Amino acid sequence: MPYKVVNRFKDIKHGHIYEVGEVYPAEGEKATKTRLEQLATTKNKYKKVFIEKVEEESNDKE
């Protein structure tokens, strides 16, 4: 499932700086379940949410 960056942050493992509106993880990168939880909640040292799930749009046109 894709995630959207809602607060700018730097991925210390890869050195990539994620800007607001970018997709996480960057193309070619993988994120662990633990890392996704850290970034999608306030369970990190900054107590900020950095990413949120992007809801996939349905193509139903009824």
How confident is the model over 42-52, as pLDDT tens digits? 999 999 999 99
What are the CA-CA distances from residue 3 to residues 39, 51, 62 (Å)?
10, 6, 28
| Mean pLDDT value of segment 3-31 | 93
Q: Is the pLDDT assigned to residue 62 strictly greater than 90?
A: no
What are the CA-CA distances from residue 60 to residues 1, 2, 54, 56, 57 (Å)?
20, 20, 18, 12, 9
**pLDDT for the residue 59:** 65
Q: Where are the domains of the chain?
A: 3-53
Whether the model pTM is above 0.85: no
Where are any strands of DSSP class E within 1-62? 3-5, 9-10, 17-18, 23-24, 51-53
**pLDDT for the residue 13:** 83
